[in-house]
Amino acid sequence: MEGFYLLGSIACTLTKTSLLSLVLAVRSIPHFLFSPAPPSTPATSQADEAVRLYEGLVRHVRLRPVRHAFDYTVRYALIDLDRAPHLQPSRLSADRAREVAQTTGPV
């Protein structure tokens, strides 16, 4: 009986993911057909300068009780909230960040 349940679950999941993939493909068609041409020269604005991307390497080492070490890459996006575009008012604003951080300086 458990085998039938497992097969039914697999069939249901397969059907659902297939339908969702099909819907996603159909919804993506207008994007590929009518996408605007990229600008010939990249535009730099204050919003572009408000976001900086950094990549680094984090390394952890444990010496006891057994020596163990590993490392992994990390990526950070540092955003100047004073100069960033405010697309959604429900997100963290510069004033709210100052209030949370209890500071009056740049955030």
User: What is the pTM assigned to this prediction?
Assistant: 0.39
Which residue blocks in 1-107 are alpha helix, DSSP H? 2-33, 46-49, 94-101
Structural domain range at position 19: 1-35
- Domain identity same for 31 and 61: no
- Domain identity same for 29 and 46: no
- Domain identity same for 67 and 15: no
- Domain identity same for 73 and 99: yes
- Domain identity same for 53 and 100: yes
Rounded to whole angstroms, the Cα distance separating 14 from 60 reads 40
pLDDT at 107: 77
Whether the CA torsion 91, 96, 101, 104 is positive or negative: it is positive
Under-50 pLDDT residues of the chain: none
Residue pLDDT, tens place only, 16-45: 999 999 988 888 787 767 766 555 555 555
- Domain identity same for 28 and 44: no
Rounded to whole angstroms, the Cα distance separating 96 from 107 reads 10
| Number of domains the chain contains | 2
